[in-house]
A and B are shown apart, each in its own frame.
Chain A
Amino acid sequence: MTALIHALEEQGDLIEQQMRVVQGRSLEMVWDSGAARAMTRSLEDVVSHLAAGAREARVSAHECRAYLVRAEEARKMDDANAALLGLTPAVIR
């Protein structure tokens, strides 16, 4: 799970970085015709998808981290319950 969280965070950074590369390339150019405007629109679509992708990756990483915290708390509670009942934690789980 920890490796997944790191991968998701890296992925968020990577997508954002690639989004900047694509935007940077497009800024080198001045678009001024019907065909170019259509291309600009699909570029804008791609950039907004990439932005959404970076956001989703970060939210996923955040959720996974929160999940880990909650799972750890649950594990501690299981251990405490097991100790109270004089059982080994594995039986509770």
Chain B
Amino acid sequence: MSSDDAVADLDLVGGKHGVGAKILVQIETLRAFAQTCLISQTAIADGRARVLALWEAAQAENRAGMSRQFVTHPGHVDDFVAVGATYDAGLTELAREITTAADAYEDTERRNSSWETSGYMYLLGGLLGDKPATGQNGPIASLGDGITAWAQASFVNTLDAQERVEQVLDGKWIGWLLSGAAAKDGVNPSPMGLGGLFASTAAWYRNRRADIGDPVVGAAQPAPQGLADLYGTLTRNNPGTPNSDGRVVVQRIPSDVPGDSEQDRYVVTLPGTSDWEPPFPDLEPDIRDINAIGRGLSGMPSAEVDALPSVLERAGVPAGATVALVGHSLGGINAARAAADPTMRSRYNIKHVLTAGSPIQRIPVPEQTTVTSLKNNLDIVPKGAAAPDPDVPNRRTIRFTHPGLTKEFLAPHLSPTYVEAAKAVDERVAQARATATPSAVDEGYRDIDDSLRKDGFLGRSGQMSVTEIDLKYHEQPMPVLTAPPTRHW
């Protein structure tokens, strides 16, 4: 690998050390800090009151007269008392500032997360030509304006004329839609991000169902030891070529205690988009298409998430099992949606969601599920959510810069690029473990690794079994027209 292809700018957002709002700290830690300041202030003030009382007693003793020749007293105690007033006020003020900051960050969090639920209202507002409320990225007059701005941003600003023509001729029309989304990071024409546009495209497609294939048992593999092993399956079931048969891969990591199957862990890897065809004509329909992206981003039911409980059952995952969902691109969107899906949650303990290049920032995930997201700064897809990386305890975003392993369009988005980043994170975890005083960010990577290890997804010694299941587009038979009754004259 040349130095140009190396993973660069590795950075962590969210989780214990993380943040979206540029302050690498959790709201709870801020509140604890404010409390610490107040406790310190009280402790010191109590001590100072005692010093003052003793000082007055000593002065009285001095007045009673110890010596004719020595009646003065040391003035330093007065200085000490005067300095005390400044640090008292300082600690109280600091506690107040920190509490205000915690409130502000919490408020921002709340507003960011409420975007998701109000996202559909934005879209409806846009369609009706009404002006929806101002979002973080400014108001949008209508969906039409949004699309126009998008098209301008992508066609006019990001590509030269020849590239534009080539991409349209190549059928990569979705490419300019995505590059528009990423044209100006954080300044997105649509307050919903890609969700707004994709939600509307979903309406053009038929509502699809998946046919669940028979389980195919693959060769056993060593249990995963690092993030790269967990993400590694993505390159196997996610060829990234149009209409490829991406399969759901279910890996069972057996318990290290023989016979204790309750401790078995299941890693379910979901593939990304494999059908980029526009809705008309959709010659080779596939469930992992633009329709699925629209549904996933906007929170509508989708074929893959609806089928997932049955897929896991067919793959032999017992009810109540502890599961990690791994997904690239659309697979990550589906993984995040599945973690919040009532049927999935009622059957399985979804402990971890690991995504790569997925615009899931606005997708709400239950607190019990820890989300680790890999995000390539050069990948336009995860920017499509047009939302900051979540700064909540159960969500961590590992950001990095990598140009991609090939020169093709969207190379930075392809899953092998993300596996490279996972390897880089594993190296940093190893460094953090080897150092007595690792940096806060390296500690963050180590925490991610630790939590996966503690939950049994990393570091086990056995071999894991592998089951793959195909999800195919459910072909609905064309309605059969009955022949008109024949008349015999």
Please give the distance in Å from A31's CB to the nearest CB on chain B.
Answer: 6
B283 at the interface (CB under 8 A from A): no
* Residue in A closest to B440 when the chains form the complex, CB atoms: A30
Q: Which residues of the partner chain B approach A92 to less than 8 Å between Cβ atoms?
A: 68
The residue that A30 contacts in the complex, of B17, B77, B91, with Cβ under 8 A, is: B17
The residue that B87 contacts in the complex, of A1, A29, A35, A49, with Cβ under 8 A, is: A49
Which of B67, B98, B440 has the most A CB atoms < 10 Å from its CB? B67
The residue that A70 contacts in the complex, of B24, B48, B55, B70, with Cβ under 8 A, is: B70
Q: How far is B32's CA from A26's CA once the two chains are assembled, in angstroms?
A: 11
Q: How far is B58's CA from A63's CA once the two chains are assembled, in angstroms?
A: 13
Q: How far is B23's CA from A26's CA once the two chains are assembled, in angstroms?
A: 12
Question: In which size bucket is the chain B interface?
Answer: 35 or more
Please give the distance in Å from B199's CB to the nearest CB on chain A.
Answer: 33
The residue that B80 contacts in the complex, of A1, A8, A50, A77, with Cβ under 8 A, is: A8
B165 at the interface (CB under 8 A from A): no
- B54 and A78 within 8 A (CB): no
* Residue in A closest to B32 when the chains form the complex, CB atoms: A25
Question: In which size bucket is the chain A interface?
Answer: 35 or more
B 174-185 to A, binary, CB cutoff 8 A, 1 in contact else 0: 000000000000
* Residue in B closest to A56 when the chains form the complex, CB atoms: B80
Q: How far is B84's CA from A21's CA once the two chains are assembled, in angstroms?
A: 18
Q: How far is B17's CA from A45's CA once the two chains are assembled, in angstroms?
A: 25
- B43 and A30 within 8 A (CB): no
Q: Which residues of the partner chain A approach B30 to less than 8 Å between Cβ atoms?
A: 29
- B29 and A18 within 8 A (CB): no
B47 at the interface (CB under 8 A from A): yes
Within 8 A of B (CB), among A1-55: 1, 3-4, 7-8, 10-11, 14-15, 18, 21-22, 25-26, 28-33, 35-36, 38-39, 42-43, 45-46, 49-50, 52-53
B217 at the interface (CB under 8 A from A): no
Q: How far is B65's CA from A92's CA once the two chains are assembled, in angstroms?
A: 11
- A28 and B57 within 8 A (CB): no
B 92-131 to A, binary, CB cutoff 8 A, 1 in contact else 0: 0110011001001000000000000000000000000000
- A14 and B61 within 8 A (CB): no
- A42 and B90 within 8 A (CB): yes
- B43 and A56 within 8 A (CB): no
- B83 and A8 within 8 A (CB): no
B86 at the interface (CB under 8 A from A): yes
Please give the distance in Å from A53's CB to the nearest CB on chain B.
Answer: 5
Please give the distance in Å from B6's CB to the nearest CB on chain A.
Answer: 24
* Residue in B closest to A29 when the chains form the complex, CB atoms: B25
- B36 and A31 within 8 A (CB): no
- B77 and A64 within 8 A (CB): yes
Q: Given contacts A7-B54, A28-B29, is CB(A46)–CB(B91) below 8 Å? A: yes
Q: Given contacts A11-B47, A18-B43, A71-B67, is CB(A42)–CB(B24) below 8 Å? A: no
Q: Which 4 A-B pairs have the closest CB atoms?
A: A30-B24, A74-B67, A63-B74, A49-B87
Given contacts A3-B54, A30-B441, A49-B86, 13 further A-B contacts (CB under 8 A): A11-B80, A15-B47, A18-B40, A30-B17, A30-B440, A31-B25, A32-B23, A42-B97, A50-B91, A57-B80, A74-B68, A77-B67, A93-B65
- List 18 A-B pairs, Cβ < 8 Å: A7-B54, A22-B36, A22-B91, A25-B29, A28-B33, A29-B23, A29-B24, A29-B29, A30-B440, A42-B90, A50-B87, A52-B87, A59-B79, A59-B80, A60-B76, A70-B70, A75-B67, A93-B67
